[in-house]
Each structure stands twice: as C-alpha cells, then as structure tokens.
C-alpha cells in the first residue's frame, strides 16, 4: 500500500518496521462533548487505512489515545459540577457509541492521559536531565525548543518564525494547550496548578499540577509502540503545534526515529465554511439521525472525498447517499443471485482476499493513497461487468475495506423505485425537523407518483396507491 507522507511530502510505500505487524497511532478525541462529523472524517479515514491494510493481508496494531485532561475538559467538568472522571467518562461512552454506529473498528488499545501521569512525569524528568526542559520555579516545566534543531521540520516552519520563537518566552504567563503558529515558543510540559483547576491536579517533583496536552501522546507511544513505529495520524490541524511538539519531546527523550510515516487528513467544511456553533453548522451523529439520516449514510458521505482535499458537507449531498446505498444493496442482491453467492462474507472472511475480480481497480484506488472517492466510482463501474463468484467476493472485499454497510432491503423496498424512496426519506427528514411546508409538499409529490407514506412514531411505510 502507498500513502502520502506529510513529513517527506511524497507518496511512499507503507512497510511495518518489524516486517510483520503495522503498528500505528492516531490522536484520539478530547472527551468534553460529542464529536462532530469533522472529527469523524479523520477517525473514519484512519479506520479505512487500517481496513485496507487488513484486507490486503497485513496485520495491524492500532493505538488511539483519549484526552481526558486538558484546559477544556477541566473547564467544562467544573462548569457542569461533575468530577473530571464522570464527565469525560460520559462523553467517552458517547464517542464509542458513535464510532460503533459509523462502523469504525475499535482500536487495539485506547490509553488515556489520566491513566498515564507517572509515565509523563518520568519523561519530563528525562528531558530536564538531558537539558531539553527547564523548571523556572513557577510550578510549571517547559520544553526548550532551541535545544532541538529539527523543530518545525514536519510543518515546515520557516526560519524567521523559529528565530522569533527562540527569543521569545511565554513562560511567565499562562500557556494554553492549543495555540496559533505566531506564538511559537517554549511549550509547557507540566502545568502548575491554577485556581480554576478544582480537584484536578496531581503531585509532581515541581509541585501540584497536570501534564501539558502534547505530552500524553509521546508518553503513551513510548509505552505501547516504542521509540520507532510505523505511522502517526490525525487531522491536518494537529501537524502544528501538536505533532511538532510530540516529535520534539519523543526524539529528545527517547532518541528514536519516532513515526516513520505521517498521515494527515484535510478538514471537513460545512456549507463551504469552517464549522461554527453560531452558524449552526456543527453536526453530530445524533443531529443527523434526528434529521432522518443513518450513520452508514454519513460514513458514505465522509468517504466520498479524497482525504487530502478539503471536503464540503451539505445535507443535499447526504440525501444523495441514501439513494446510492440503496442502489448498491439492490445491485448486490442481483449479483448474489446471479453467482449463487450464498451468505454474505464477514469482515474476517475477507482478510487477505487474493482476488477482487472486476473490482481490482476499485481496491487499487484504495491501496494507491487511499482514494476512497475514486474507489467508490470504480465500484459502480465494476458492477456493470460483474458476473462471477470471484467478482461478488471482490465487491464485498472493497466494501469491507471502505467499512460500508449496505442497508437491508425489505420485501417492499425491492419494488419501490429509488426516486420514491429518496423523496420519502426527505419527507421523513423534513417532518422530523418540523418543516411542515416541505413535508406536505413532498407528500403531494409522492402522491403524484402513486405512493403514500403511512407514518408511525419511529418511521413510515410506503404504500402503493392502486
Ligand atoms: P479533538 O477531539 O478536538 O482533539 O479532535 C479529534 C480529531 O478530529 C483530530 O485528529 C482533529 O485533527 C480532527 N478534526 C477536528 N476538526 C476537524 C474537521 N473539521 N475535519 C476533519 N478533522 C477534524
Ligand atoms: Zn497526539
């Protein structure tokens, strides 16, 4: 498999360093609220990467952390009057539910920052001993970026920025976990206790406090993946400062290569703009379910753009995925019948599939820099020529790699034309959103087409007018 490496800016072959298991790490969620579809674009792409490797026959080991202590989790748990553990536990459970609905494979290991405080303290002590960190006596500890000549290599920070950083010091003030590029400076490894932290502090050689956000990934990677591992992933916003800081901490403390490959996904926009609360464009899985969409349709939508390009999410394009998934289901049923396919193979059955038949091109798009959009296009092209049992297995192999689950066709849905199904779904979504004018309009259109939707509490049934 080949994948763009954001460190070297080249598409490179992925190779497990031990020749056996592909060991990779993805930065996980900060659990202080529900994850949005932008976050899920990144998590779904990480999941597809793993699936493509596994369907190709490569064993994987996937580690994804949980950020359960930082400025935001402390702030919001205090505001909610809950303990940090109760508060983050609640949002973690929600995250797991959403991931399951989206058919993301659970990572092999999901370590949390709070459960690794001693490892983080030990790493700080090592960095101080090696001259890469200092404790100025204000209860905090900082990483000295001037001590690491490769700082900025991943995000190509220009020399001017770095020179500025070297002469600046923000250590006198409070430093946020997240900051912008123009504030490059020594960053915090241990954050001394603040008045607003409540009970959320741990004892350390520098006094009570908590680790800085960037440190958890370095400490947990060291613990579970060692000094050199195969790939590190996350959204593009993490390249600077988060990943840059992880590299600095890990290479200075451990001396290894750290990640051999960097995988960054471009952001998801909504209606062409950055998601924003005030514009009402932050969608969660629950928001979209309320509008009548399924998580499988959301996954399809997230896969329909190449991960290196920004993608634009609209409710209109999500509507189209409903129809496309139904089309795929019908095509699968026809193909299965034609080839006497029998039971649909499970994910495990498809690992190491040796031939994809006419869907070889579709799978090839995935192994060539994870082009999910092109792969989906090739699936539809392949369906036109699919004839054999091998083709049918290949179709399922590509779907398993994409993690796409097809909707079950009911007896009636096989007779319902796709256009009618789509309009009925749109009407249900409008009704759920209490958009009565649109819902009535769609009811009339359906009637003109010879169909009526009988509503229940949880859904509707389509009936053909005689
Ligand atoms: P967070 O929970 O904020 O730490 O983010 C979890 C993941 O979502 C990180 O890998 C981010 O880079 C990623 N992310 C945040 N916003 C977006 C977005 N709009 N599109 C794609 N990925 C995102
Ligand atoms: Zn990280």
- For residue 104, whether the previous peptide bond is cis, meaning omega lies within 30 degrees of 0, is no
Q: Which residues contact 403 (CB under 8 A, 6 or more apart)?
A: 44, 47, 48, 51, 102, 103, 104, 105, 299
pLDDT value at residue 170? 47
Measure 27 CA to ligand 1 centroid, in angstroms.
9
Q: Report residue 415 as tokens.
A: 């007779």
How far apart CA 361 and CA 238 sit, in angstroms, is: 32
Nearest atom, ligand 1, residue 237 CA = 12
Helix axes 360-367, 372-385, angle to 10 degrees: 170
Q: Please state the atom number of ligand 1 nearest to the C-alpha of residue 268.
A: 20
Ligand 1 binding pocket includes 46 (Cβ within 6 Å): no
> In the prediction, which pLDDT does 458 show?
65
List average pLDDT for each run of 10 residues in the chain, which is 466 residues long. Answer: 98 95 98 97 98 98 98 96 98 98 98 98 98 94 94 81 50 55 75 94 98 97 97 96 97 96 97 88 95 95 98 92 93 94 94 98 98 97 96 98 92 71 85 88 92 79 81
Name beta bridge partners: 30.
Answer: 67
Pairing of strands 141-143, 268-270: unpaired
CA angle 339, 367, 23 (to 5 degrees): 115
Beta-sheet pairing, 133-134 with 10-13 = unpaired
Q: How far is the CA of 4 from the centre of ligand 2 (A)?
A: 19
Identify the pLDDT of residue 166: 47
Two tokens at 393?
Answer: 């297995």
Spacing, Cα 38 to ligand 1 middle (Å)? 6
Determine whether the shortest distance from the Cβ of 223 to ligand 1 is under 6 A. Answer: no
DSSP state of 344: P
What is the separation of C-alpha 433 from the centre of its chain, rounded to a whole number of angstroms?
A: 27
Q: Which CATH number describes the domain made up of 2-265?
A: 3.40.50.620
Query: Probe ligand 1: pick from 91, 94, 234, 237, max atoms within 8 Å of CB?
Result: 237
Phi-psi region of 26 (alpha: psi -120 to 50; beta: other; left: phi over 0): beta
Ligand 1 centroid–CA 248 distance in Å is: 22
323 close to 421: Cβ distance less than 8 angstroms: yes
User: Is the torsion defined by CA of 446, 447, 450, 455 positive or negative?
Assistant: positive
Q: Which residue has the tokens 């790699």?
A: 401
**Of all atoms in ligand 1, which is nearest to the CA of residue 236?**
12
For residue 23, CA distances in Å to 61, 231, 411 come to: 5, 7, 44
Pocket of ligand 1 contains residue 247 by CB under 6 Å: no
Give the number of the ligand closest to the Cα of residue 239: 1
How many Å apart are CA 436 and CA 31, to the nearest integer?
36
Ligand 1 lined by 267 (C-beta under 6 Å): yes
- Helix (H) / strand (E) element for 323: namely helix 315-339
CA separation for the pair 452, 324 (Å, rounded):
22
The torsion defined by the Cα of 36, 40, 43 and 49, in degrees rounded to 10, comes to -170
Task: Please work out whether the CB of residue 42 comes within 6 Å of at least one atom of ligand 1.
Answer: yes
d(CA 59, CA 53): 7
**Which atom of ligand 1 is nearest the CA belonging to 26?**
10
Residue 214: partners with Cβ closer than 8 Å, 6 or more residues away: 177, 187, 189, 241, 242, 245, 246, 249
Distances (CA, A) of 41 to 111, 237, 305, 346: 21, 13, 10, 24
403 lines ligand 1 (CB under 6 A): no
The protein residue with its alpha carbon nearest to ligand 1, atom 3, reads 30
Full strand arrangement of the beta sheet holding 209-211: 133-134, 141-143, 187-192, 209-211
- Side-chain-facing half-sphere of 368: CA atoms under 13 Å: 9
Q: Does the Cβ of 217 fall within 6 Å of ligand 1?
A: no
Query: What distances in angstroms separate CA 85 from CA 32, 77, 81, 94, one per listed residue?
Result: 11, 9, 12, 14
In this prediction, residue 455 carries a pLDDT of 84
Parse the chain into domains and list their residue ranges.
2-265, 269-402, 411-464
Q: Which atom of ligand 1 is nearest to the CA of 39?
A: 8
Is residue 258 within 8 Å of 228, Cβ to Cβ? yes
Atom of ligand 1 nearest to the CA of 266: 21
Neighbours of 136 (CB within 10 A): 13
Q: Which atom of ligand 1 is nearest to the CA of 235?
A: 12
The number of the ligand nearest the C-alpha atom of 312 reads 1
CB-based neighbours (< 5 A) of ligand 2, an ion: 27, 217
Do 362 and 313 contact (CB within 8 A), yes or no? no
The label of the residue with tokens 């020399």 reads: 159
CA–centroid distance, 102 to ligand 1, in Å, is: 16
């Amino acid at each position: 498999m080949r994948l763009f490496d954001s460190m070297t800016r080249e598409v490179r072959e992925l190779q497990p360093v031990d020749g056996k298991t592909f060991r990779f790490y993805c930065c996980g969620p900060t659990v202080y609220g529900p994850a949005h579809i932008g976050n899920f674009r990144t998590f779904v792409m990480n999941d597809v990467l793993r699936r493509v490797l596994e369907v190709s026959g490569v064993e994987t080991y996937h580690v994804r952390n949980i950020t359960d202590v930082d400025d935001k989790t402390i702030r919001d748990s205090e505001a909610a009057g809950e303990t940090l553990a109760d508060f983050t536990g609640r949002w973690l459970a929600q995250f797991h539910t959403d991931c399951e609905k989206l058919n993301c494979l659970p990572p092999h290991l999901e370590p949390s920052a709070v459960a690794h405080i001693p490892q983080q303290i030990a790493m700080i002590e090592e960095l101080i001993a090696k001259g890469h960190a200092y404790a100025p006596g204000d209860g905090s500890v900082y990483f000295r970026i001037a001590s690491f000549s490769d700082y900025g290599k991943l995000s190509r920070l220009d020399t001017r920025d770095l020179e500025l950083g070297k002469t600046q010091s923000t250590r006198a003030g409070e430093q946020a976990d997240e900051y912008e590029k123009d504030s490059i400076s020594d960053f915090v490894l241990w954050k001394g206790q603040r008045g607003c932290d409540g009970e959320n502090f741990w004892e350390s050689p520098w006094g009570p406090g908590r680790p800085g956000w960037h440190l958890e990934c370095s400490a947990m990677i060291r613990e579970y993946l060692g000094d050199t591992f195969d790939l590190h992933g996350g959204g593009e916003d993490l390249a600077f400062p988060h990943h840059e800081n992880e590299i600095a901490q890990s290479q200075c403390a451990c001396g290894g290569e750290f990640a051999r490959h960097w995988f960054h996904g471009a952001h998801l926009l909504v209606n062409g703009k950055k998601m924003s609360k005030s514009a009402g464009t932050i969608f969660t899985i629950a928001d979209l379910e309320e509008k009548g969409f399924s998580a499988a349709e959301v996954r399809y939508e997230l896969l329909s753009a190449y991960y290196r390009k920004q993608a634009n999410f609209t409710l209109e394009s999500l509507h189209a995925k409903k129809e496309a998934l139904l089309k795929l289901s019908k095509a699968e049923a026809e193909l299965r019948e034609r080839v006497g396919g029998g039971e649909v193979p499970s994910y495990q059955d498809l690992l190491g599939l040796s031939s994809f038949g006419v869907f070889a091109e579709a799978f090839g798009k995935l192994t060539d820099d994870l082009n999910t959009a092109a792969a989906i296009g090739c699936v539809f092209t392949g369906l036109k020529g699919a004839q054999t049992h091998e083709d049918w297995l290949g179709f399922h192999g590509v779907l398993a790699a994409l993690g796409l689950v097809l909707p079950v066709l009911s007896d009636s849905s096989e007779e319902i034309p796709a256009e009618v199904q789509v309009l009925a779904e749109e009407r249900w979504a409008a009704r759920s959103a209490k958009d009565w004018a649109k819902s009535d309009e769609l009811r009339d259109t359906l009637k003109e087409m010879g169909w009526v939707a009988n509503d229940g509490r949880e859904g509707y049934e389509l009936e053909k007018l005689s």
